[in-house]
Amino acid sequence: MTITSSSMSDSSTTHRSTTPSMTQGPLMSFAPIGRFLKELWRDKAGFAGFAFLVLLGLAALFAPLLAPHDPAAQSVLARLKPPIWMEGSVSGHLLGTDMLGRDILSRLLFGARSSLLVSVSVVALAGSFGVMAGLVAGYKGGLTDALIMRVVDVQVAFPGLLLTLLLVAVIGPSTATIIIVLAFSNWMIYTRVVRGIVMSLRQTPFVEAAEVVGCKSARIILKHILPNLISPLLTLAILEFTNIILAEAALSFLGLGVQPPATSWGLDVAGGKNYMMIAWWPITFPGLCIAMTVLSINLFANWLRVTTEPAEREKRYARGRAAKMRRAKKT
Amino acid sequence: MGTFILRRSLQGFLVVLGVTIVVFVATRMIGDPAQVMLPLSATDAQRAAFEQQFGLDRPLDAQFISFVGDLMRFDFGESLWQRRSALDVVLEKLPKTLELIGVGLLLATVIGIPLGALAAVRPDGLFDRIVVGLSLTGLSVPQFWLGLLLIMVFAVGLGWVPTFGSGSLAHMILPAITLAVPSMARIMMLVRSSVINELNQQYVRTAKARGMPFGRVLFQHAMRNALVPVLTLVGWEVISAWAGYTVVVETVFAWPGLGFTAMKAINHSDLFLLQAIVFVVAVGIVLVNIGLDVLFKLIDPRIKEA
């Protein structure tokens, strides 16, 4: 118990430094954010990833203000113009134009909205359903548990992407469809993770004490168990984010995701595909956006995983010391 | 072992049943096959004829029974696009996909395992940082975009290999690399962390103390023990590639396998062919899963039957 409680409090301090400060509104203090950034700064790659994600979030939020052009505005005269630093470019189109003369930079900014909208919705939907199923399965045990986990096992072995394609083809492609279909095929991992943790938490004295005192199941689950799930779930959800962004891009690329006139990075790559022999920029920039976003999330998640897990923190510290000693020996 | 295989088979049966139910609910209850498969200009009479031809006007329970019955006889109906049995189309395209998965994952394993192991020799060293950076990049780049970039550079720019299609070994190179990259990244990461773990064990210290050359310590002692989780991952990579993740690569390179055919079936509104592909793949997943489980149990008897 002492080990769990200390590790839990340790892991939740780093977490506490991010979320509650956002919920406290105008009266919030900036100290926790400062502590968070200071700790993040030590991992330069993680910091760079986080910075990129913040910028991306802001770009998506303020896309209508930032975009120099209407992302759907076509121009016959300015078709396939290269980026501004190349010969033959047109002023006003920083990253050039695509085959319909639409401004690529503006499309990238609006495309960020699709990516973030789909990935946030899917992670929220699949996450909340999966976590709930996992909590019930882990806490209730017995027949309920067996039933839920059988469904999970069966669905994990489904032909994932192909079934997604079939569902989208039958329902008809749209942003709402891919959100629902991706949530349907991605909730199981949360259930597995949550159930495992809940089952081990049930054995701990603080949950047993709560049961003895006579707390109702709902109270134990929400007040005693859920807070201990936050740090592993946070890492899992962030990594799931990358999967969903890549899945949305792939589906949109195949023409089964976001539909025009809406914009999406995957859709733009598909649009530029037929012209890639003569123009590299219409497919390069949107693809780069997807890759950079996913890479940033991976770097940040890597830092978060190490930071919220005390054992990993120790390892990182030890490795740092060992490297320092090696360097000292050499000189 | 017998009961083990039996239990796995039962689980596999549940998977196929689950896929059946999802496909039935999706195609007959949420979606309307007549609306998907007939052109928009179809008259009411044509719709009625279509529904009668495929028994779509019957009650749902009767439809479900005949649906399951057809599946059990491997009768997937006729592909409306190809005008022949959907199963024939699937079986014709199947070898191409298997070929792609085989070569791609072989590539991922052959490159990923040694690189991961060498990176583990000095964690946080220069080589390790390069390998970790490469794997993170490999995990982050969308496959369709990577494929297009490779076409742009090596096929269009340098003209070394053909842009798309299949037939020769040269056609194989770019699709295989594209399919391999994310798997390679995951394999490298796992081998690395697994070997780092083994190198910290006492038996490695003993081997070193006895004066064994480090190459032998690494490849004969540490690697052998580190490979069990890696094999599980490779098995998982095979299944996930098979579960449809070749669709993107096949579409980019117009590789005539199951994935490309699935996309064509969607573009031709050929629901029956798409259904056939989904089922054959589902049965394939179940068989591969059972095969891998048995294999792993033979390799490492400690694996529990959970």
Q: Is residue B297 part of a domain?
A: no
CA geometry: angle at B219 spanning B216 and B220, to 5°?
A: 70
pLDDT surpassing 50 at residue A6: no
pLDDT of amino acid A288? 92
**Band of residue B303 on the pLDDT scale cut at 50, 70, 90:** low
Q: Is residue B234 part of a domain?
A: yes
In chain B, the percentage of residues whose pLDDT exceeds 70 is 98
Measured in angstroms, the CA of A229 and the nearest CA of chain B are apart by 24
Q: Is residue B30 part of a domain?
A: no
pLDDT of amino acid A183? 92
Nearest CA in chain A to B139: A295
Domain of residue B135, CATH code: 1.10.3720.10
Nearest CA in chain A to B250: A254
pLDDT of amino acid A13? 40
pLDDT digits (tens, 9 = 90+) for B241-263: 888 778 899 998 888 888 888 88
Do the Cβ atoms of B249 and B255 come closer than 8 Å? yes
Give CB contacts under 8 A, 24+ apart, made by A182-186. Answer: A182/A118, A182/A122, A182/A126, A182/A244, A182/A247, A182/A248, A183/A121, A183/A122, A183/A125, A183/A126, A183/A129, A184/A126, A185/A155, A185/A158, A185/A160, A186/A122, A186/A126, A186/A130, A186/A240, A186/A243, A186/A244
Select from B18, B124, B259 the Cβ nearest to the Cβ of A319.
Answer: B124
Q: Is residue B54 part of a domain?
A: no
**Domain that residue B175 falls in:** 97-272
Q: What is the DSSP letter of B78?
A: E
**Band of residue A12 on the pLDDT scale cut at 50, 70, 90:** very low
Do the Cβ atoms of A257 and A264 come closer than 8 Å? yes
Chain B, window 95-154: residues with a beta carbon less than 8 angstroms from a chain A beta carbon: 123-124, 136-137, 139-145, 148-149, 151-152
Q: Is residue B172 part of a domain?
A: yes
Mean pLDDT, chain A, whole residue set: 82
* Complex ipTM: 0.86
Q: Do B278 and A163 touch (CB under 8 A)?
A: yes
Mean pLDDT, chain B, whole residue set: 84
Number of domains observed in the structure of chain B: 1
Which chain B residues have a beta carbon less than 8 Å from that of A48?
Answer: none
Lowest mean pLDDT among A77-91, A106-120, A182-196: A77-91
pLDDT surpassing 80 at residue B118: yes
pLDDT surpassing 50 at residue A138: yes
pLDDT of amino acid A291? 93
pLDDT surpassing 50 at residue A10: no
Lowest mean pLDDT among A25-39, A139-153, B208-222, B254-268: A25-39
pLDDT of amino acid A294? 94
The mean pLDDT value for B223-241 works out to 85
pLDDT surpassing 70 at residue A4: no
Instruction: Say which residue, A43 or A244, is predicted with more confidence.
Output: A244
The mean pLDDT value for A201-222 works out to 88
Domains, chain A, ordered by start: 75-303 (1.10.3720.10)
Which chain B residues have a beta carbon less than 8 Å from that of A150?
Answer: 14
pLDDT surpassing 70 at residue A20: no
Select from A163, A165, A323 the Cβ nearest to the Cβ of B124.
Answer: A323
Which chain B residues have a beta carbon less than 8 Å from that of A298?
Answer: 136, 139-140
pLDDT digits (tens, 9 = 90+) for B46-65: 778 877 777 777 777 888 88
pLDDT surpassing 80 at residue A73: no
Do the Cβ atoms of A300 and A49 come closer than 8 Å? yes
Which chain B residues have a beta carbon less than 8 Å from that of A302?
Answer: 136
The mean pLDDT value for A180-206 works out to 90
Select from B31, B251, B262 the Cβ nearest to the Cβ of A171.
Answer: B31
Taking every pair of Cα atoms in chain A, the longest distance, rounded to a whole number of angstroms, is 77
Which chain A residues have a beta carbon less than 8 Å from that of B281?
Answer: 159, 162
Neighbouring CB atoms inside 10 A of A89's CB total 17
Q: Is residue B73 part of a domain?
A: no
Among candidate residues A119, A184, A291, A130, the one with its CA nearest the CA of residue B181: A291
pLDDT of amino acid A29? 65
pLDDT of amino acid A27? 52
Q: Do A165 and B262 touch (CB under 8 A)?
A: yes
pLDDT of amino acid A194? 92
Chain B, window 31-60: residues with a beta carbon less than 8 angstroms from a chain A beta carbon: 31, 36
pLDDT of amino acid A28? 56
The mean pLDDT value for A40-51 works out to 86
pLDDT of amino acid B7? 83
pLDDT of amino acid A153? 84
Instruction: Say which residue, A308 or A138, is predicted with more confidence.
Output: A138
User: Looking up tokens 């309307």, which residue turns up?
Assistant: B32
pLDDT of amino acid B130? 92
pLDDT surpassing 90 at residue B15: no
pLDDT surpassing 50 at residue A1: no
Do the Cβ atoms of B16 and B59 come closer than 8 Å? no
Do the Cβ atoms of A189 and A123 come closer than 8 Å? no
Nearest CA in chain B to A160: B243
Do the Cβ atoms of B156 and A273 come closer than 8 Å? no
**Band of residue A23 on the pLDDT scale cut at 50, 70, 90:** very low
pLDDT surpassing 60 at residue B239: yes
Rounded CA-CA distance B252/B259 in Å is 11
Do the Cβ atoms of B237 and B183 come closer than 8 Å? yes
pLDDT of amino acid A127? 93
pLDDT surpassing 90 at residue B271: no
Q: Is residue B77 part of a domain?
A: no
Rounded CA-CA distance B76/B23 in Å is 13
Lowest mean pLDDT among A86-100, A185-199, B83-97, B263-277: A86-100
Rounded CA-CA distance A59/A64 in Å is 9
Give CB contacts under 8 A, 24+ apart, made by A45-49. Answer: A45/A299, A45/A302, A45/A303, A46/A299, A46/A300, A46/A302, A46/A303, A46/A304, A47/A303, A48/A296, A48/A299, A49/A295, A49/A296, A49/A297, A49/A298, A49/A299, A49/A300, A49/A303
Question: Which whole-number Å values give the CA distances from B226 to A7, A137, B137, B201, B232, in the listed order?
Answer: 28, 33, 24, 11, 11
Q: Is residue B49 part of a domain?
A: no
Q: With H, G, I as helix, E, B as strand and everything else as coil, classify residue B84.
A: strand
> Number of residue pairs across A and B with CB atoms under 8 Å?
145
Select from B123, B140, B278 the Cβ nearest to the Cβ of A295.
Answer: B140
Candidates A53, A170, A268: best to mutate against B (most CBs of B within 10 A) is: A170
- CB proximity list for B129: less than 8 A, separation 6 or greater: none
Nearest CA in chain B to A280: B152
pTM of the model: 0.84
**Band of residue A24 on the pLDDT scale cut at 50, 70, 90:** very low
pLDDT digits (tens, 9 = 90+) for B128-167: 989 999 999 999 999 999 999 998 888 877 878 777 777 7
Select from B12, B142, B271 the Cβ nearest to the Cβ of A291.
Answer: B142
